[in-house]
Amino acid sequence: FGLTKGHGAMKESLLVMKFGGTSVGGPEALENAWRVVDSAKREWRDVVVVVSAASGVTNLLLDSAFRAAAGVKPILEEAPPQLRERHVVLADRMVPDQARKAALIAEFDALVGAFEDLLRAIQVLGEATPRALDAVASLGERFSVRLFSEILKDRGLPSVALEATELILTDDQFQSAHPNMLETGQRTQERVLPHLKQGEVPVVTGFLGATAEGVTTTLGRGGSDFSAAILAVALQAAEVWIWTDVDGVMTADPRIVSDARTIPLLSYREVGELAYFGARVLHPKTIRPVIEAGIRLKVLNTFNPNHPGTELTARRQSDDRKTIQAVTAIRGQKLVTVEGRGMLGVPGVAARTFGAVASTGTSVILISQASSEQSICLAVPAESADRVVGALQRAFVIEIQNRDIDRIWASEEAVIVTVVGVGMQHTPGVAGQIFSALGKENVNVIAIAQGSSEVAISLMVKADEMERAVRAIHSLIE
């Protein structure tokens, strides 16, 4: 990114660690997180910490903003004390020093005051703009940095709480802002390096940035991972460790498959597909800046800190012997089908189909076209299905009248099951294995899509057959 150098020898000794919402959401987690930072600080010369809002707090904030906009009355009386209580309890448990705790709670009260002002303004206007929502949502991380930095200091680690609004410059795409890496690099080096030189552990808000005018933005839900990546690139870190509440990236959701296990090494392409197809892994934007800068990335468990977790690798294929790495499921989908004999060979039907869907603002995650049946199928979130069908029926009124299109309809609620692994599509027999495993379990496959990414195969199955499908496929992983 053409950053200014001059930080020579330090480069190899900088570690960025990000703690997610559950990792800073309760006393046990905070205790573990503190221990993790303390031991990292013994091994690394520089440690920079990025924290999310405590679990549930961002949802509470956004939900309150929506209710204030809708004029739901008791929200101003209820939400601010709830937000305060959530953090005061943590301060009480984690910061024994009375003076320190009192100062911390005074800072919490200033944030609670800001929250009340924002809610009142939203209530008066009757509208929560994206800009206002970012101002509200930013409060969770601002509580977290103050709390975590205070815990470190209380236990003898010099630390400073920093707001990423001073570091990460973004555009004004509120709720999903895009960072300017060059300017962010300069600001971050200028403002963070002096603290590192003094031996402090900076604790930085995840999720946040600011426009050139200094207006607070957010990087999108789950964006703290992305913050860690941005700061790691800006500071030329050697490694980024993402601390979460599972043992790294798993072969399947352990709530569905009891013998799901950690994948020790996973390629960036595979993790990208997994994130896209619903695995709770990493914010998808995290990966690219980190690969491009050659920074090592690991996913670890705050609640099981000695577990080696998952390492992400830039190698094309993470494991030559393994074709299938993981299986995921996205619930709550419906398959919308446009069907008709007269569609055969009519140019532009697909384009008009997707145009009509796009006009409803729905994102399509799976498409399949069957030439023999003369149909186009697309998976959409169940709650959008009626809207999508309506838009398609309007777009094809004439074709429906002429009977070129017979039917446009949505299926019952279904699940997209995705099998991820590099090389799968080129390894003869893997697809066959998958389908015979499903056949043995009597799972009926409603639709199939094989992404051009060569890393994933997706299938749609009925909601009540999902668990059987996932388990059957999981049993194929060596």
Q: How far is the CB of 206 from Mg ion (least distance, A)?
A: 8
Partner whose footprint covers residue 206, from ligand ASP, Mg ion, none (CB < 5 to 8 Å by kind): ligand ASP
Taking the least distance from each CB to Mg ion, the nearer of 52 and 251 is 52
Taking the least distance from each CB to Mg ion, the nearer of 28 and 292 is 28
21 lines the binding site for Mg ion (CB under 5 A)? yes
Closest residue to ligand ASP: CB criterion: 224
User: Are 310 and 248 a contacting pair, CB within 8 Å?
Assistant: yes
Task: Fill in the amino acid letter for 164.
Answer: A
Site string for ligand ASP, 203-222 (x = CB under 6 A): ---xx-------------xx
The helix (H) or strand (E) run that includes residue 458 is strand 456-462
Q: How far is the CB of 72 from ligand ASP (least distance, A)?
A: 22
- Complete DSSP assignment for 117-147: HHHHHHHHHT---HHHHHHHHTHHHHHHHHH
CB burial readout 357-376, b (16+ within 10 A) else e: beeeebebbbbbbeeeebbb
Taking the least distance from each CB to ligand ASP, the nearer of 52 and 211 is 52
CB burial readout 113-148, b (16+ within 10 A) else e: ebbbebbeebbeeeebeeebbbbbbbbbbbbbbbbb
User: Are 23 and 34 a contacting pair, CB within 8 Å?
Assistant: no
20 lines the binding site for Mg ion (CB under 5 A)? yes
Partner whose footprint covers residue 140, from ligand ASP, Mg ion, none (CB < 5 to 8 Å by kind): ligand ASP
Size of the site for Mg ion (CB under 5 A): 3
The dihedral through the CA atoms of 176, 182, 183, 187 has a sign that is positive
Site string for ligand ASP, 221-260 (x = CB under 6 A): xxxx------------------------------------
Tell me which stretch binds ligand ASP (CB under 6 A): 52-60, 175-183, 338-346, 351-359: 52-60
140 lines the binding site for Mg ion (CB under 5 A)? no
Give the separation between CA 289 and CA 232, rounded to whole angstroms: 9
Do β-strands 14-19 and 46-51 pair in parallel, antiparallel, or remain unpaired?
A: parallel
Taking the least distance from each CB to ligand ASP, the nearer of 191 and 280 is 280
Residues for the chain: how many in total? 478
21 lines the binding site for ligand ASP (CB under 6 A)? yes
The helix (H) or strand (E) run that includes residue 167 is none
Residues that bind ligand ASP (CB under 6 A): 20-21, 52-53, 58, 140, 206-207, 221-224
Residues that bind Mg ion (CB under 5 A): 20-21, 52
